[in-house]
A and B are shown apart, each in its own frame.
Chain A
Amino acid sequence: MLTRRNFLKYSLAGAAGLAVPATIKASTGTAPAAGTATDKRWVFLVDSTKCVGCGMCVKACKNENEVPYDANVSRTWVERYVVTKDGKVHADSPKAARDGFTTQTIDQGHHGKEIIKPADISKAFFVPKLCNHCENPACVQVCPVGATYQTKEGVVLVDRTWCIGCGYCIMACPYGVRFFHPVYHTAEKCTFCVHRLHAGLKPACVEACPFGARQIGNRNDPNDPVTKTILNNKVQVLKEEYGTKPQVYYLGLSMEVK
């Protein structure tokens, strides 16, 4: 017979029992990575005013990260925006700009080509793009198998042996940086070249850029030149409204860039 007295007694005992694993977890759980001086948090800085659209970064990235060179996929790419005097925006990124921009023709693949007269151009610029390694990565949240994750240094990676190729992450990324690797058939993306960072080198695209349009830095180091630039200058991020807190900062970004 369950009396009120017994019911309360057992409920309390049960609640206490449930709380035990929670406290164990709380005491062994590690604190969030941000804040401590020794921990690194990689961030990227793109100065789009310096980019000339040579595409050396894309070439280097593909070679460095073994992304099939002739497949029409890339971990990083460069976009060209040409705004004409009638206010129209013409953008392209043929072959992810692997071979640079070597003609005035806007080449949008199967959407056709456009020839724009120099006299009609009101402004034009190049915008390098790569994974934003967001603070709140949407791609990681949607992975059903735990194959994509963020390291304590903020880098979002994909576990090729664990990825089932469902493509949720490719759909979830607001920046379109993910794709299927043509060889492994798993989700593929920029890694900030973590293997280079841990060896004390800069990412391949940063190394290859002749104009210093791409830079990498450690946000947790207040003396890092990139951190200083981000803190002291007018920087922008892409698609802030998604709340993903992207960690690729842009200098000189124009409103036409999506």
Chain B
Amino acid sequence: MKNHVFRPLIVVIGIVLLILAARFVYVPKDFGSYERGYIYSWHRQGDENFWNKFTIKYQGKEYCKDCHEKNFTSINKSPHRIIICENCHGPAIDHPSEARSKLVIDKSREQCYRCHVKLPYPDTARGRIKGFLDPEQHNPGMECVTCHDPHDPKLGGA
């Protein structure tokens, strides 16, 4: 083969080898197409661990049971038993460890409005919940929990 063909060819081959070498260094070893094949799972397997080890914040209702037995039993007797503690008390995360010994309770009117603003929607679960069409007419500015115990709303007083 003639020299003027051969020399640029060497340069091209050199560039290709360089790219392959760079790719070898740069692409993580665990990159590959796993269970779902090339189209759907061409990925870095290590990332699955990242998502699997994400910090859990909401611990669920049973988590509170042992220390807060009194509140746990009282709410279980009321219609509010379907609401998990953390919906109002905030995510437990690693409570009661020192860093988060105290949870911030959401006592706002808006928290109650989520369900107890009456929406005139026929044949919906929302339409059947007791509530106000215009809650701002009812003791405006006061926290609902001043009069209504959220753990036992039927008692009508805290």
Contact = CB atoms under 8 A, between A and B. Distances in A.
Contact of B47 (A59, A60, A103, A159): A159
Interface string A18-42: 0000000000001011000000000
Interface stretch (A8-16, A202-210, A228-236): A202-210
16 contacts: A54-B115, A99-B114, A100-B113, A100-B114, A101-B126, A102-B114, A126-B124, A137-B40, A140-B41, A148-B43, A159-B50, A161-B44, A195-B54, A199-B56, A201-B56, A210-B82
B39 interface: yes
Interface stretch (B12-20, B84-92, B146-154): B84-92
Contacts of B55: 195
Chain A's interface: helix, strand, loop or mixed, by majority?
A: loop
Contact of B52 (A60, A100, A198, A202): A198
Interface centre among B43, B48, B55 (most CB of A within 10 A): B43
B82 A211 contact: yes
Interface stretch (A107-115, A116-124, A170-178, A218-226): A116-124
A56 B114 contact: yes
A139 B124 CA distance: 34
Contacts of B72: none
Interface residues of B, number: 45
Contacts of A104: 119-120
B117 interface: yes
Contact of B58 (A52, A103, A126, A207): A207
B21 to A, nearest CB: 20
Interface in B81-135: 82-84, 86-87, 90-91, 110, 113-115, 117, 119-126, 129
A99 B110 contact: yes
Nearest to A30: B35
B140 to A, nearest CB: 14
A35 to B, nearest CB: 12
Interface string A143-179: 0001111111000010111100000000000000000
Contacts of A102: 110, 113-114, 117
Interface of A: 30, 32-33, 49-56, 59-60, 63-65, 82, 99-104, 118, 121, 123-126, 136-137, 140-141, 146-152, 157, 159-162, 191, 194-196, 198-199, 201-202, 204, 207-208, 210-212
Contacts of B36: 32-33, 149-152
B115 A157 contact: no
A150 B34 CA distance: 9
B65 interface: no
A175 B158 CA distance: 45
B156 interface: no
Given A195-B51, A198-B52, A210-B83, A118 B120 contact: yes
A207 B34 CA distance: 31
Given A99-B114, A104-B120, A64 B35 contact: no
A125 B124 contact: yes
A94 to B, nearest CB: 13
Nearest to A212: B82
Nearest to A201: B60
A105 to B, nearest CB: 11
